[in-house]
Amino acid sequence: MRARTILLVEDNPDDVALTLRALRAHHLANEVVVAEDGVEALEYLFGTGKYAGRDPRELPAVVLLDLKLPRLDGLEVLQRIRSNEHTRLVPVVVLTSSQEEQDLVASYRLGCNSYVCKPVDFLEFVEAVRRLGLYWLLLNEPPPVR
Amino acid sequence: MQRGRRERVTAAPLTGPVLTVLVLLALELLSHWAIRLPNPAAVYLLAVAYSAYAGGVGSGLVSALLSFAYAAWVFSEPGQPFRYSAENGLRIAVLALATPALAVMVGFLRRLVTGETARATELAVRLEEAEARQQLEAALAMLFRCNPQPMWVYDLQTLQFLEVNEAAIQRYGYSREEFLRMRITDIRPPEDVPKLLEDVQRPRPALQASGQWRHRTRDGRILHVEIVSHTLTYAGRPAALVVAHDVTERHRVELALRESEELFRSLVEQSLVGVYLVQDGVFRYANPALAEIFGYPREELIERRGPKDLVHPEDWPLVDENLRRRLEGEVQALRYGFRGVRRDGRVIHVEVYGARTFSQGRPAVIGTLVDVTEQKMAEEALRALTRELEERVRLRTAELEAANRDLEAFSYSVAHDLRAPLRSIDGFSQALLEDYADRLDEVGRGYLQRVRAASQRMATLIDDLLQFSRVTRAPLEVQEVDLSTLVWATVEELRQREPDRTVEVHVTPGIRARADPRLIRVALENLLHNAWKFTRPRSPARIEFGVAPTPHGSACFVRDNGVGFEMQYAAKLFAPFQRLHRPSEFPGSGIGLATVQRIVARHGGRVWAEAEVDRGATFFFTLPGLREEADAGQDHPAGGR
């Protein structure tokens, strides 16, 4: 069984803490990599920069991607992931505060696998993260590694 | 003829006796050798008698004298001395007495004979003359009677008709007898009679042309006649022969012509547009309007100035060429504009329509001219204004677009960034409650619950605000929408959210309108959420959706039997953040109805409310194309539950 890594791309440390807390609550947090902006997320995926030397063939089970990010925003990250042969098939879940239709449309057009709006109510948030973790880590069959 | 005959008679007295005597003398001399006349002197008696007969007593006496002279010579035989003897003396005496006596006798006889003949001849001539005169008079009478011009003779003193001809009888319709009973005043219209009487009393020449008069026929028609007359004596009375020349038709034509001329003259003279006639480079005619347009006295234009004086020098070549083309018949008419110069030097814009015509047999241009300076200036001003407006619109649009972009960025930012801290507040409060519950007492936990509740209320507020701004910005995509179906969908959602509540819902099926389905759904949701919320204390709660006639036309309504509100606050309802209830009673952001109002307004409709405290509220709104389709389907299966 492959490592069940989650790549969490999130610049807000509060959201990172709350997400990790939610995942931990359901014992899904054993392997969570946090990238604080888009550039770092891509470095992780391609094994460059800060993550130079990492085997890029090791892909996360799911990328939880916020849209509003410093340096390179979520939509650009998604576009890079989808346009690279190596990362083209990795599951990406957009996890964002935005309910704007334009964000939804753009995300799906660029090929996200799912779009989840972070609820303000923490209990609802925990529930959402729990379901996400369960689904993508346990239920979903990841694409084959090439 | 007669005159010639008389002359011959008077020539006879001298030549006759002399010739007769000479002839006899010649005969006697001739006979002297042939035969011997027993009494040659007696032969001369024949000559005397003839002369007296042919030439009268005078001729006879001359002849007698001559005869005596000759006879005296004869008695003295030629070559023989005269011998006085008693016998010879007696012979001479007898001859001297007898021949004159014979001459006188024959002369009287002749006078007797020829006098009778002359009288007879005279009578014959007179008869002949009378006959000729009669014929002439008949011819003259015929010329009067049958003259094709109406004629009559009237008595200059009594004004009575004395004679009329056929033409007059026919033209005037009176019989001859009727005419002869009338006076000339009787064939006039009454109003012309005084003038006629005055005219008749004036001294007049024998032949007079009296000009035009009006006559009246027997059937009342008015004839216009030209009268010529000549005085004469008729049946011993001073009279006048009148010829009446009927000029009624000419008069009518002249009158029509004059009226027509008058009509066109006044049209042209009073026209608001300039009218001109140009020939040989000068105005043959210019109406007052043309003179006024160019600021000239009219007399100064006509025959004294031409188009060149009124046209702007830069436009003159164009006008000159256009005049030439029409004068030479290249074109019949032209319409164009040019600049003119007024007498005071001011430049004006004019438009002309000129056509080729003839004046006194030569080509000319006649046309109309309008001053369009004001229109030109107005057009120019309008163009400038339009340009300015367009520029302002462009600027304003750019500003609005910038503002819109800012607003969008702002909303986007609010959506993302305002929510994140709230999530932190809520999340960490929850974390505290979960992880440190044992170190907090009841009050502390209560405070944390309040923090969480506040953050969640703020989240709702943010969502409502975002929705409010979205309904303003989103483009309107209008289509046919079934409102009843949308209502049911929302009601189902509400029921799923609060399955424990008992709410009677009645929805009239088939209510349709032309609207943006997403926006109208937001509006209906807001209204139904309110109804759902404010009927919470009621059991059973009732919500009704339908269409009703209102003073503003057919309107949709959402009616509930909830707590209602005081009508004096009804106007405040639709302003953002206005609330009529305390949050502790009924939570809400105060934006829902403002959103409804915006959505309805964007569709061109209006929204209003009627309510009574504790008796419920009804919200009405109108939409374009609102109607109820009876065959749109049955009541919703959940209806009346």
Question: Tell me: the pLDDT tens digits for B317-327?
Answer: 999 999 999 98
In Å, what is the CA distance from A62 to each residue of A5, A6, A101, A112, B615?
7, 5, 23, 11, 56
Mutation target vs B (from A26, A122, A125, A127; most B CBs, 10 A cutoff):
A122
Q: Which residues of A touch B (CB under 8 A)?
A: 12, 14-15, 18, 21, 67-68, 96-100, 118-123, 125
Please compute the mean of the pLDDT values over residues A41-50 and round it to a whole number.
90
Read off the tokens for B247. Answer: 């000029």
pLDDT for residue B383 = 93
CA of B597 vs chain A CAs: smallest distance (Å): 22
- How far apart CA A15 and CA B424 sit, in angstroms, is 7
B581-635: pLDDT as tens digits: 776 677 777 788 888 998 999 898 999 999 888 888 999 999 988 888 765 444 4
Q: Could you say which of B417, B420, B430 has the minimum Cβ distance to residue A122?
A: B430
Question: Strands B347-359 and B362-371: what pairing?
Answer: antiparallel
Torsion sign, CA atoms B106, B107, B109, B114: positive
pLDDT for residue B90 = 78
pLDDT for residue B636 = 47
Residue B181 confidence (pLDDT) above 80: yes
pLDDT for residue B578 = 73
B585 within 8 A of B534, measured Cβ to Cβ:
no
Chain A residues close to B463, C-beta within 8 Å: 99
CB pairs under 8 A between A and B: 61
Q: Hey, are the CB atoms on A97 and B419 less than 8 Å from each other?
A: yes
pLDDT for residue A75 = 92
B76 — pLDDT class (breaks 50, 70, 90)? low
Residue B524 confidence (pLDDT) above 90: yes
Chain A residues close to B455, C-beta within 8 Å: 120
| Low-confidence winner among B75-84, B339-348, B399-408 (lowest mean pLDDT) | B75-84
Pairwise pLDDT comparison (B43 vs B571), residue with the higher score: B571
pLDDT for residue A140 = 84
- How far apart CA B74 and CA B301 sit, in angstroms, is 116
In Å, what is the CA distance from B499 to each residue of B494, B506, B640?
8, 18, 16
Terminal Cα distance for chain A, rounded: 16
CA of B429 vs chain A CAs: smallest distance (Å): 9
Q: Which residue has the tokens 């405290």?
A: B613
Please compute the mean of the pLDDT values over residues B476-490 and round it to a whole number.
91
CA of B628 vs chain A CAs: smallest distance (Å): 33
Q: Hey, are the CB atoms on A14 and B420 less than 8 Å from each other?
A: yes
| Low-confidence winner among B47-61, B65-79, B110-124, B557-571 (lowest mean pLDDT) | B65-79
Q: Could you say which of B411, B431, B456 has the minimum Cβ distance to residue A21?
A: B431
Q: How many CA atoms lie within 13 A of B238 on its CB side?
A: 6
User: Which chain B residue has the Cα nearest residue A117?
Assistant: B416
Q: Hey, are the CB atoms on B427 and A99 less than 8 Å from each other?
A: no
B105 — pLDDT class (breaks 50, 70, 90)? confident
Q: Hey, are the CB atoms on B456 and A21 less than 8 Å from each other?
A: no
Identity (one letter) of the amino acid at B502?
Answer: T
Please compute the mean of the pLDDT values over residues A81-91 and round it to a whole number.
91
| Low-confidence winner among A112-116, B300-304, B331-335, B566-570 (lowest mean pLDDT) | B566-570
pLDDT for residue B641 = 38
CA of A132 vs chain B CAs: smallest distance (Å): 18
Q: Hey, are the CB atoms on B412 and A98 less than 8 Å from each other?
A: yes
Chain A residues close to B477, C-beta within 8 Å: none
CA of B416 vs chain A CAs: smallest distance (Å): 5
Mutation target vs B (from A120, A124, A127; most B CBs, 10 A cutoff):
A120
Please compute the mean of the pLDDT values over residues B171-186 and round it to a whole number.
92
B546 within 8 A of B556, measured Cβ to Cβ:
yes
User: Which chain B residue has the Cα nearest residue A15?
Assistant: B424
User: Which chain B residue has the Cα nearest residue A14?
Assistant: B424
Q: Hey, are the CB atoms on B456 and A121 less than 8 Å from each other?
A: yes
Please compute the mean of the pLDDT values over residues B478-506 and round it to a whole number.
91
Q: Could you say which of B416, B456, B466 has the minimum Cβ distance to residue A120?
A: B456
Mutation target vs A (from B407, B414, B426; most A CBs, 10 A cutoff):
B426
Q: What are phi and psi of B555, to 5 degrees?
A: -135, 150
pLDDT for residue A92 = 94
Vertex B105 angle, CA B103 and B111, to 5°: 100
B374-415: pLDDT as tens digits: 998 999 999 999 999 999 999 999 998 888 888 777 777 776
Q: Hey, are the CB atoms on B423 and A67 less than 8 Å from each other?
A: no
CB atoms within 10 A of CB B137: 10
Q: What is the ipTM of this complex?
A: 0.76
B282-296: pLDDT as tens digits: 999 999 999 999 999
CA of B613 vs chain A CAs: smallest distance (Å): 35
User: Which chain B residue has the Cα nearest residue A19?
Assistant: B427
Burial of B344 (0-12, 13-18, 19+ CB in 10 A): exposed
CA of A119 vs chain B CAs: smallest distance (Å): 7
pLDDT for residue B633 = 47
Please compute the mean of the pLDDT values over residues B92-98 and round it to a whole number.
77
Q: Hey, are the CB atoms on A15 and B424 less than 8 Å from each other?
A: yes
B423-437: pLDDT as tens digits: 889 889 988 888 888
- How far apart CA B455 and CA B452 sit, in angstroms, is 5
Q: Hey, are the CB atoms on B431 and A122 less than 8 Å from each other?
A: yes
B322 within 8 A of B336, measured Cβ to Cβ:
yes
B563 within 8 A of B440, measured Cβ to Cβ:
no
Chain A residues close to B459, C-beta within 8 Å: 120-121
Q: Could you say which of B420, B426, B452 has the minimum Cβ distance to residue A97?
A: B420
Mean pLDDT over the full length of chain A:
86
pLDDT for residue A3 = 54
Q: What are phi and psi of B285, to 5 degrees?
A: -150, 145
Please compute the mean of the pLDDT values over residues B162-179 and round it to a whole number.
92
Q: Could you say which of A15, A21, A100 has the minimum Cβ distance to residue B420?
A: A15
Mean pLDDT over the full length of chain B:
84
Q: Hey, are the CB atoms on A97 and B459 less than 8 Å from each other?
A: no
CB atoms within 10 A of CB B519: 22
CA of B479 vs chain A CAs: smallest distance (Å): 20
pLDDT for residue B339 = 93
B141-161: pLDDT as tens digits: 888 888 999 999 999 989 999
pLDDT for residue B180 = 92
| Low-confidence winner among A52-61, B5-14, B93-102 (lowest mean pLDDT) | B5-14
Residue B84 confidence (pLDDT) above 70: no
Q: How many CA atoms lie within 13 A of B241 on its CB side?
A: 14
pLDDT for residue B635 = 47
Residue B9 confidence (pLDDT) above 60: no
Pairwise pLDDT comparison (B311 vs B34), residue with the higher score: B311
Q: Could you say which of B412, B417, B426 has the minimum Cβ distance to residue A120?
A: B426
Give alpha helix (H) positions in B328-372: none
| Low-confidence winner among A58-62, B51-55, B204-208 (lowest mean pLDDT) | B51-55
User: Which chain B residue has the Cα nearest residue A119?
Assistant: B423
CA of B605 vs chain A CAs: smallest distance (Å): 26
Q: Which residue has the tokens 């462009």?
A: B394
Identity (one letter) of the amino acid at B537?
Answer: P
Vertex B94 angle, CA B91 and B95, to 5°: 85
- How far apart CA A107 and CA A118 sit, in angstroms, is 15
- B334 Cα distance to chain centroid: 22
Chain B residues close to A69, C-beta within 8 Å: none
User: Which chain B residue has the Cα nearest residue A97?
Assistant: B416
A90 within 8 A of A63, measured Cβ to Cβ:
yes
Vertex B394 angle, CA B389 and B395, to 5°: 100
Read off the tokens for B387. Answer: 């340009």
Chain A residues close to B426, C-beta within 8 Å: 120-122
Q: Which residues of B touch A (CB under 8 A)?
A: 411-412, 415-417, 419-424, 426-431, 452, 455-456, 459, 463, 466
pLDDT for residue B640 = 39
B252-264: pLDDT as tens digits: 999 899 999 999 8
| Predicted TM-score of the model (pTM) | 0.46
Q: Could you say which of B416, B427, B463 has the minimum Cβ distance to residue A18?
A: B427
CA of A98 vs chain B CAs: smallest distance (Å): 5
Residue B503 confidence (pLDDT) above 80: yes
pLDDT for residue B418 = 80
User: Which chain A residue has the Cα nearest residue B460?
Assistant: A120
Residue B480 confidence (pLDDT) above 50: yes
Q: What is the percentage of chain B residues whose pLDDT exceeds 70? A: 90
Q: Hey, are the CB atoms on A121 and B459 less than 8 Å from each other?
A: yes
Q: Hey, are the CB atoms on A97 and B466 less than 8 Å from each other?
A: no
CA of A53 vs chain B CAs: smallest distance (Å): 34
